[in-house]
Amino acid sequence: MKFMGYKRPDGKVGIRNHVVVMAGVVCSDIAARRITEAVKGTTYLYNSYGCGQGIHDNNRSLKILTGMLANPNVHSVLIVGLGCEGIQEQGYLKAMQEKAPHKKVHYIMMQREGGLAKTVAKGIELASELMNEASKCVREECDLADLMLGLECGGSDPTSGISANVVLGEVSDRIVDAGGTTVISETSEAIGGEHAMRARGATPEIGQAIFDAIKEKDRYYRDVAGQDIRDSNPSPGNIRSGLSTLEEKSLGCINKSGTRPFTGCFAYGDMVNVKGPVFMETGAYDPVSTVAEVAGGCQTVVFTTGMGNPMGCAIAPVIKITGNRQTYEALTDILDFDTSANLRGEKTVPQVADDLMALILDVCNGRPTKAELNGADVMVIDQYFMGP
């Protein structure tokens, strides 16, 4: 299978061609917004971080933000700083040089430029130049091996585990078999399925690393946070929809990773550098998990939901699918695909997966998702997840 993407100098492939304007700190957000509004076609990336944090949290913010900017969907970047914030210009530029040395990154600073009006004027000039350069990029034929697909879920119900996640698991296997990469996350939503995840390690060490990450997350909530995660997960919505235990939810959740051996276990927001299905340690909150997958390099994310969820991401299209026919019919303005034909006996799982693969390729070729059409962009960083 092929799709039409933007080939980058480092060999990676984008399915979007964003020129991103981002505030380096929330205090300079007004300038970043005005620049984006003035230069048609630029992509605004919200950033509420960058200052007022400890060293660990600043490092976490820098890691995720620059991971998002380094994503192959991004052509070039303009960062608008204030000047006195915790994450300084050199921090951003050094991280971007390490992650995407080919990418053009401009940085301007309000206190250096001389205020809001002068900063906006300078930003408009720079962003316009970047847009002109980006407009010269053309889509080229790319292999499925160039695709990194995020696997996410939220607002799950019983149909998630027996329809949407099973169909997505079939798609994951196909992408992996073609030489591509898929990324599953949400560590706590694998609790109860850790033995199955360990058994799928491509090596004993990888399987054990995934198992240990899941068990450590369970221990963290109990011994450090002082609560059993089962007291809050499944969520009230999950319970109303028919999921009774975390273990039941987890066994349905992990279905979306398919059946192929895991080739890696990555920390939160690490850039994924292997092929095959991989596990990424993240919190169970849908936005922080989706953002981490995109920061890790995913060009698009397929998000399964039983009850419906409108969230998207400014950098990567988020494809919403459900196995609940009633949900799909009620929420067609936020959902992209219905997998429930397998539950009604109208199609087999492989046949539904054929249809989903066709949609994913269409999105890779430029078809907007409902989240993109709605402008449903969420940017949240998990500052409380353990690890580097």
> Does 369 share its domain with 243?
yes
> Does 113 share its domain with 155?
no
Q: Which of 81, 103, 134 is the last residue of a domain?
A: 134
Give me the pLDDT at residue 231, please: 62
Amino acid letter, 40? K
Q: How sure is the predictor about 243, in pLDDT bands with cuts at 50, 70 and 90?
A: low
For residues 359-378, one letter each, b for 16 or more C-beta atoms within 10 angstroms of the residue's C-beta and e for the rest, the string is bbbebbeeeebbbbeeebbb
Contacts of 64 (CB under 8 A, 6+ apart): 268, 269, 291, 292, 295, 381
Which CATH number characterizes residue 66's domain? 3.40.50.2300
Looking at 110-119, 331-340, 378-387, which range is the least confident one? 378-387
Considering only CA atoms, which of 214, 232, 253, 268 is closest in space to residue 385? 268
> Does 48 share its domain with 187?
no
- Return d(Cα 135, Cα 20) in angstroms, integer: 14
Give me the pLDDT at residue 388, please: 41
pLDDT of 233 above 70: no
Q: Does residue 106 lie within any of the structural domains? A: yes
Considering only CA atoms, which of 163, 191, 144 is closest in space to residue 304? 163
Q: Does residue 12 lie within any of the structural domains? A: no
Q: How sure is the predictor about 387, in pLDDT bands with cuts at 50, 70 and 90?
A: very low
Give me the pLDDT at residue 329, please: 97
Share of the chain above pLDDT 70, in %: 94
**Inter-helix orientation angle 116-134/29-38, to 10°:** 50
pLDDT of 385 above 60: no
321 φ, ψ to 5°? -130, 155
Q: Which of 75, 103, 134 is the last residue of a domain?
A: 134
Provide the number of structural domains found in the chain: 2
Q: Does residue 382 lie within any of the structural domains? A: no
Considering only CA atoms, which of 187, 269, 192, 254 is closest in space to residue 220? 187
> Does 255 share its domain with 111?
no
3-state secondary structure (DSSP) of residue 276: strand
Give me the pLDDT at residue 232, please: 62
The answer to whether 297 and 72 have CB atoms below 8 angstroms apart is: yes
Q: How sure is the predictor about 270, in pLDDT bands with cuts at 50, 70 and 90?
A: very high
What is each CA distance from 302 to 65, 139, 245, 381, 383, in whole angstroms? 21, 22, 24, 19, 24
Contacts of 295 (CB under 8 A, 6+ apart): 63, 64, 65, 67, 68, 71, 269, 271
Q: What is the mean pLDDT of the chain?
A: 93
Q: How sure is the predictor about 53, in pLDDT bands with cuts at 50, 70 and 90?
A: confident
Contacts of 225 (CB under 8 A, 6+ apart): none
Q: Which of 134, 153, 169 is the last residue of a domain?
A: 134
User: What would the mean pLDDT of 340-366 be, rounded to a whole number?
Assistant: 98
Question: End-to-end alpha-carbon separation of the chain, Å?
Answer: 37
Give me the pLDDT at residue 240, please: 75
Looking at 185-189, 251-255, 327-331, 368-372, which range is the least confident one? 251-255
Give me the pLDDT at residue 46, please: 97
> Does 291 share its domain with 320?
yes
Structural domain span for residue 111? 18-134
> Does 129 share its domain with 154?
no
> Does 49 share its domain with 170?
no
> Does 234 share its domain with 106?
no
The answer to whether 306 and 158 have CB atoms below 8 angstroms apart is: yes
> Does 259 share its domain with 232?
yes
> Does 187 share its domain with 321?
yes
> Does 239 share its domain with 282?
yes
**Inter-helix orientation angle 286-295/55-70, to 10°:** 60
* pLDDT per position as a tens digit, 296-351: 999 999 999 999 999 999 999 999 999 999 999 999 999 999 999 999 999 999 99
Q: Does residue 100 lie within any of the structural domains? A: yes
> Does 105 share its domain with 149?
no
Which stretches of 8-73 are assigned E, i.e. beta strand? 13-14, 18-23, 43-45
Residues β-bridged to residue 284: none
Q: Does residue 52 lie within any of the structural domains? A: yes
